[in-house]
């Protein structure tokens, strides 16, 4: 796996130039779009790549230090700025390609499982190191995520301009790719909240309308009889509680008319 480090436009241009080179063999090597600067990596992250091409060159002291550390771990780098080279010759590229070890290991079709349109799994990865290069454009579209069977997020990088590359460390067996676009999730929650607010609004409007209809209904014989103090007020027997009993009885009658319920009749308690 070869990391191309530099600006987006420059890396894209160099990627397509290398892909068209007759010495490039996609069955045994992959070009991965890297970060803008080599100093954006830790030495452990950089060591996952077998080779690095510095598209923009950059020769500051921090870059030179990272180059030396990377080379000390067996990594190959173009141009070799530490050795005084500032440009990449075609012979350097051909030599780099021929020095990369062996062929890639193919993943069997049985190990690739499509659970649904937005979920894929690749299994039987235990013990494998390097990079998984998957012929899907997941890395081009925001919203695609990849985790292993432990739920740990894995990195997803752009390979060969269109494919997806995921680093492997040999410790997990399965990678799961899922599509969870942020805009779709936010839109779904907004739609649910809007529907809930509309339901609350219509419920309140219905209750208010019903109450107004009950208040504005024409006076009936039942209503007049209920509010006829002489006919329906109970014989409380004690003048001291007459006012309270009269008010409670009127409330009782009105509640019965509005909600058609029979409430317990309030009684005057002796003092």
Q: What is the pLDDT of residue 266?
A: 47
| Tokens (6 digits) for 39 | 């100093």
State what percent of residues in the chain have pLDDT above 90.
44
Q: What is the pLDDT of residue 86?
A: 79
Residue 192 lies in a domain: no
Peptide bond into 79 cis (omega under 30): yes
Quote the CA–CA distance of 132 and 155 in Å, as a whole number.
11
Domain boundary among 128, 157, 180: 180
- For residues 47, 50, 55, 57, the Cα torsion angle rounded to the nearest 10 degrees is 60
Both 46 and 82 in a single domain?
yes
Both 7 and 94 in a single domain?
yes
For 263, which DSSP code?
Answer: P
Residue 199 lies in a domain: no
Residues 6 or more apart whose CB falls under 8 angstroms from that of 63 comprise 37, 38, 39, 54, 81
Structural domains of the chain, count: 3
Quote the CA–CA distance of 258 and 271 in Å, as a whole number.
33
What's the rounded mean pLDDT across residues 164-182?
Answer: 91
Residue 85 lies in a domain: yes
Of 170, 49, 169, 172, nearest to 121 (Cα)? Answer: 172
Quote the CA–CA distance of 121 and 123 in Å, as a whole number.
6
For residue 43, the enclosing domain spans: 2-99
Both 142 and 83 in a single domain?
no
Both 61 and 130 in a single domain?
no
Which residue did the predictor score with more confidence, 33 or 195?
Answer: 33
- CB of 105 closer than 8 Å to CB of 128: yes
Residue 227: exposure state from Cβ atoms within 10 A (0-12, 13-18, ≥19) = middle
Residue 205 lies in a domain: no
Both 22 and 87 in a single domain?
yes
Q: What is the pLDDT of residue 202?
A: 72
Residue 198 lies in a domain: no
Domain boundary among 44, 70, 99: 99
Both 155 and 226 in a single domain?
no
User: What angle separates helix 182-215 from helix 242-259, to the nearest 10 degrees?
Assistant: 120
- 206 falls in which pLDDT band (50, 70, 90)? confident
Both 115 and 93 in a single domain?
no
Average pLDDT, the chain: 79
Of 133, 134, 51, nearest to 100 (Cα)? Answer: 51
pLDDT tens track for 71-124: 999 999 998 877 778 788 889 999 999 988 777 788 888 999 999 989 999 999
- 198 falls in which pLDDT band (50, 70, 90)? confident
Both 70 and 120 in a single domain?
no
Residue 121: exposure state from Cβ atoms within 10 A (0-12, 13-18, ≥19) = middle
Domain boundary among 37, 71, 99: 99
- Describe the strand order of the beta sheet including 129-134 as a list of residue ranges: 76-78, 51-54, 2-5, 31-33, 157-159, 163-169, 129-134
User: HSE on the CB side for 217, CA within 13 Å?
Assistant: 14
Quote the CA–CA distance of 226 and 132 in Å, as a whole number.
84
pLDDT tens track for 6-41: 999 999 999 999 999 999 998 889 999 999 999 999
- 231 falls in which pLDDT band (50, 70, 90)? very low
The yes-or-no verdict on residue 165 having pLDDT over 90 is: yes
- 70: CATH: 3.40.50
- CB of 238 closer than 8 Å to CB of 271: yes
Both 92 and 145 in a single domain?
no
Both 95 and 117 in a single domain?
no
Both 92 and 113 in a single domain?
no
Both 37 and 87 in a single domain?
yes
pLDDT tens track for 123-138: 999 999 889 999 999 9
What's the rounded mean pLDDT across residues 247-261?
Answer: 49
Token match 């009105």: residue? Answer: 254
């Amino acid at each position: 796996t070869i990391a191309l480090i530099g600006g987006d436009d420059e890396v894209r241009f160099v990627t397509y130039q290398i892909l068209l080179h007759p010495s490039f063999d996609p069955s045994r090597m992959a070009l991965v779009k890297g970060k803008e600067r080599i100093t954006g990596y830790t030495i452990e992250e950089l060591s996952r790549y077998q080779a690095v091409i510095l598209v923009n060159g950059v020769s500051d002291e921090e870059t030179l230090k990272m180059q030396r550390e990377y080379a000390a771990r067996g990594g190959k780098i173009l141009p070799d700025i530490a050795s005084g080279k500032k440009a990449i010759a075609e012979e350097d590229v051909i030599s780099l390609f021929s020095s990369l070890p062996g062929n890639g290991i193919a993943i069997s079709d049985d190990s690739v499982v499509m659970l649904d349109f937005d979920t894929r799994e690749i299994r039987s990865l235990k013990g494998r190191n390097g990079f998984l290069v998957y012929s899907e454009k997941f890395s081009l579209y925001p919203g695609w995520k990849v985790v292993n069977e432990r739920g740990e997020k894995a990195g997803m990088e752009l390979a060969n301009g269109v494919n997806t590359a995921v680093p492997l460390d040999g410790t997990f067996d399965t990678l799961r790719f899922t599509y969870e676009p942020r805009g779709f999730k936010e839109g779904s929650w907004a739609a649910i909240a809007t529907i809930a607010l509309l339901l609350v609004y219509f419920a309140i409007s219905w209750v208010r309308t019903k109450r107004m209809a009950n208040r504005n209904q024409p006076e009936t014989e039942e209503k007049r009889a209920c509010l006829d103090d002489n006919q329906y007020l109970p014989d409380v027997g004690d003048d001291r509680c007459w006012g309270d009993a009269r008010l409670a009885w009127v409330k009782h009658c009105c509640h019965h008319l509005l909600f058609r319920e029979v409430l317990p009749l309030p009684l005057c308690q002796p003092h």
